[in-house]
């Protein structure tokens, strides 16, 4: 199976998933996911009947067997879910790239995940949720991963983002994690067991 994926996550890095079975049921009832199966010791889901309506492909549509979905378990603390190829996030005030983002990420972790990031140009402080990663990274406590989707090949529909917001009461964003770029190997991803349904 392909390792490229489209990763959806709450915009609020501190958000937790209060009711995972409710989210899985919503995704199944709206047709994003289908049958449950095991992959690399984790629970994944086959694409549902409306997968290609809820995920809008612009090119390079993968074969059905390459697509699958997983839901990560909520971590104790927010973490960087992006890739080693992530673009430098930009300051939303002046659009300057934060080229020292790895150092700021390390400092943010050391100082209890509450330290604002600082723009090197305008010197304004910014919370991590306000950084613009250009869909190449993100910070959150859990995510919904759509496997088998190449970088820039598809995006979540407004309907899918609306479903996620209604169920979790959080706004969502997304980024692309492509082959060889993940900071978290598939076998180490946290997936909450026992969710979903099987026929």
The total domain count for the chain is: 1
Q: Specify the pLDDT at position 191.
A: 33
User: In a structure prediction context, what are the per-residue pLDDT tens digits for the chain, which is 199 residues long?
Assistant: 567 899 999 999 999 999 999 999 999 999 999 999 998 888 999 999 999 999 999 977 888 888 999 999 999 989 888 776 788 899 888 999 998 888 888 888 888 777 788 888 999 888 887 888 889 899 999 999 999 999 889 999 999 999 999 999 999 999 998 764 444 433 333 333 333 322 2
Q: Hey, what are 187's tokens?
A: 């076998």
Q: Domain for residue 68, yes or no?
A: yes
Q: How far apart, in whole angstroms, are the C-alpha atoms of residue 128 and residue 159?
A: 26
Residue 166 sits at φ, ψ, to 5 deg, of -65, -40
Q: Domain for residue 120, yes or no?
A: no
Q: Domain for residue 194, yes or no?
A: no
Q: Domain for residue 96, yes or no?
A: no
Print the domain residue range for 157. Answer: 5-17+25-80+133-188
For the entire predicted model, the pTM comes to 0.83
Q: How far apart, in whole angstroms, are the C-alpha atoms of residue 2 and residue 146?
A: 11
């Amino acid at each position: 199976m392909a390792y490229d994926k489209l990763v959806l996550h709450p915009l609020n890095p501190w958000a937790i998933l209060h009711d995972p079975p409710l989210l899985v049921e919503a995704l199944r009832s709206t047709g994003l996911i289908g049958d449950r199966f095991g992959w690399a010791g984790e629970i994944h889901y086959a694409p549902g009947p409306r997968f290609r309506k809820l995920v809008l492909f612009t090119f390079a549509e993968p074969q059905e067997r390459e697509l699958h979905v997983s839901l990560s378990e909520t971590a104790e603390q927010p973490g960087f879910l992006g890739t080693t190829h992530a673009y430098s996030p930009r300051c939303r005030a002046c659009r300057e790239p934060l080229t020292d983002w790895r150092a700021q990420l390390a400092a943010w972790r050391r100082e209890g995940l509450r330290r604002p990031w600082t723009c090197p140009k305008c010197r304004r402080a910014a919370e991590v949720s306000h950084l613009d990663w250009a869909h190449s990274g993100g910070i959150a406590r859990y995510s919904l991963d759509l496997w088998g989707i190449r970088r820039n090949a598809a995006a979540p529909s407004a309907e899918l983002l609306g479903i996620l917001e209604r169920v979790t009461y959080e706004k969502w964003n997304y980024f692309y994690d492509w082959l060889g770029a993940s900071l978290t190997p598939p076998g180490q991803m946290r997936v909450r067991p026992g969710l979903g349904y099987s026929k």
